[in-house]
A and B are shown apart, each in its own frame.
Chain A
Amino acid sequence: MSRRLLVLGLDCATPQFIFGPDAFELPNLRALMRRGAWGKLESCHPPITVPAWAAMLSGKDPGTLGLYGFRNRRDHAYDAMVTADGTAVREPRVWDILSRQGKKCVVLGVPQTYPVRPLNGWLVAGFLTPNEQAPYTYPRPLKDELLREVGPYLIDVKDFRTEDRAALLKRLYALMENRFRHARYLMTSKPWDFFMMVDMAIDRLHHAFWRFCDPAHPAYEPGNPFEHVFRDFYRAVDAQVGELIAQAGSDTAVMVVSDHGARGMAGGVCVNQWLIREGLLTLTRPPEGRARIEDCAVDWARTKAWSSGGYYARIFFNVEGREPLGQIPAADYEAFRDNLVARIESMRGPDGRPLGNRALKPQDLYVHVRGVAPDLIVYWGNLRWRSVGSVGYDGIFTFENDTGPDDANHDCHGIFILDDRTGAGSRELQGLALPAIAPTMLRLMDVPVPADMPGRPLVEDRT
């Protein structure tokens, strides 16, 4: 008999809250762990929602996918950045492969599924859906069915950058409960073999509330009113997980995964400000106040490198014969890159101590480097600091955030839990990494793993 598989994706669910000695009391996730296997799951580079979910579900690394972040360079022009929507994922994901094998799939809220594409089943797109008016379901009539039977579908949390944390917390609960309510409806109303949902609320929670919950965060205040929101929210998610697992039935294998984890954020490194100071980036005139680099007048004839910011930095070089006004001779490319790696990795923080930066070359990370890759991927303080791409700051380091409060950065490890219903018993797995997940899903569904997936399944072949 073919098995069914339920995959619960909890974006940004963090190992320390689920596995470690300080783990919260989460009876349903604990029960899965007792019956199955679990461990920290190493994300990809960069450990960001896009590309991490696509890498996990295609079994291909971000370089092979040509996805290096939410927005990617379309070509080597200076202003050609485009959002990586669902059409940017050009490798089949698990449900594409299962659909071809006749398996019925339900996919709910997975990032990079808008615009929707056909599958053998039902799909509700994730948070990159532009708005509620968009056709975010496959088939299209499913949208009206959900509106009628479940109510409005919440794409993401509104007004995230607010100081009114109590109101934000309510909206995060509403987002999470809305996603699970849709899941319960789809689970009971559709015949399925493979069911996957992703909830984004934990990610938003970490970014908005880390300083309130982590005693190690510099801004933590004991006894603050939000001190236990992580514990309470994880428990609420756990209860929803338990309800869904019960609905799925005891013969259904259950996998719980996250695409990355989170950690406290110390501050921001103003990467383009630093490149200006190093003489590698020149503006024709200084910005009036803070400005995005895209909105600045860059003197490309006197610029060798510039960067996109976010939770990590992507540094692009201005190379002769590649960019329109390239300044780095192609023959000097590797020497320039090695020199910049050394300068980045030797940077010191505001306290004068080494920051612990990591500057990574895409060619060292990926099987293929497709699309227009950054020349360097940089983790400031190994992700303890975010990357501020805007300019107009007084110095290189900032403890402010123009867009509003954010206390967490992404971390390289997420979670993996699998109860494959074989009764194998609790075992912690070491060395888990994203490439193993898609092959494991396919193996659990008794579907052959494509030869071009480099990862190996974590379960035995039953066929």
Chain B
Amino acid sequence: MNQPYTIRLTGEHAADAAHALGRRLVELGSRVCPPGQAPPAGFDGVVIRLGDAPSPVPAGDTVAISAHDTPDFAAEKILDVLHENGVISLESETYTPEEEEEIRKRLSDLGYID
């Protein structure tokens, strides 16, 4: 991405989810501006905001964190939202050619294909 993006989290557990989300985004190679911090000049990453806290970059999505979700789980759901909106790219998990061959052989062994 080359445009900054604000993801807004709401709900009782939003702060915990924001922490987990920031960690995962960094793991995925994204730049992150956590809640309460101002993005530096030229920032082109993801700004995380809690509730209606102000953000200098245009609002993107707002995600309500379910009370049933663990922070890690909530973070994964938000990553999917960001992926679907083109903000980040998650690796494709369809079969590699090697996996496709592994599956084909397994299906043949099981008798499903011949």
Where the two chains meet, the residues of A that have a C-beta atom closer than 8 Å to any C-beta of B are 48-50, 69-71, 82-83, 85, 87, 104, 114-116, 118, 120, 122, 128, 130-131, 134-135, 138-142, 156, 160-161, 191, 204, 207, 292, 308-311, 386-390, 401, 403-404, 406
Find A70's partner among B66, B70, B92, B113 (CB 8 Å cutoff).
B113
Q: For residue A71, which residue of chain B has the nearest CB?
A: B113
Interface size on B, residues (CB 8 A): 28
Known contacts A130-B95, A311-B111, A311-B112; A141/B76 CB under 8 A: yes
Find B111's partner among A139, A292, A403 (CB 8 Å cutoff).
A403
Q: Which chain B positions have C-beta within 8 A of A85?
A: 94-95
Please tell me if the beta carbons of A139 and B72 are within 8 angstroms of each other in the complex. yes
Residue of B66, B77, B95 ringed by the most chain A CB atoms within 10 A = B95
Please tell me if the beta carbons of B113 and A69 are within 8 angstroms of each other in the complex. yes
Q: A-facing mask of B70-114, CB < 8 A → 1, else 0?
A: 101101110010000000000011111001101110111111111
Known contacts A403-B108, A403-B109; A138/B93 CB under 8 A: no
Please tell me if the beta carbons of A406 and B73 are within 8 angstroms of each other in the complex. no
How far in angstroms is the closest Cβ of chain B from A428?
Answer: 31
Where the two chains meet, the residues of B that have a C-beta atom closer than 8 Å to any C-beta of A are 66, 68, 70, 72-73, 75-77, 80, 92-96, 99-100, 102-104, 106-114
CA separation between A406 and B66, bound complex, in Å?
A: 48
> Chain A contact residues: over half helix, strand or loop, or mixed?
loop
Given A69-B112, A130-B99, A310-B113, 5 more A-B residue pairs with CB atoms under 8 Å apart are: A71-B104, A120-B66, A131-B99, A156-B106, A403-B108
Q: Which chain B positions have C-beta within 8 A of A204?
A: 110
Q: Which chain A positions have C-beta within 8 A of B68?
A: 104, 191
Please tell me if the beta carbons of B94 and A87 are within 8 angstroms of each other in the complex. yes
Find B110's partner among A141, A160, A309 (CB 8 Å cutoff).
A160
Q: Which chain B positions have C-beta within 8 A of A160?
A: 109-110
CA separation between A82 and B104, bound complex, in Å?
A: 9
How far in angstroms is the closest Cβ of chain B from A149?
Answer: 14
Find B76's partner among A83, A138, A156, A311 (CB 8 Å cutoff).
A138
Q: Which chain A positions have C-beta within 8 A of B111?
A: 207, 310-311, 386, 401, 403, 406
CA separation between A387 and B70, bound complex, in Å?
A: 49
Q: Please, could you name 17 A-B residue pairs with CB atoms under 8 Å apart, sorted by A? A: A70-B113, A71-B104, A83-B100, A83-B103, A85-B94, A115-B93, A116-B93, A141-B72, A141-B76, A160-B109, A160-B110, A207-B110, A308-B113, A309-B114, A386-B114, A390-B114, A403-B114
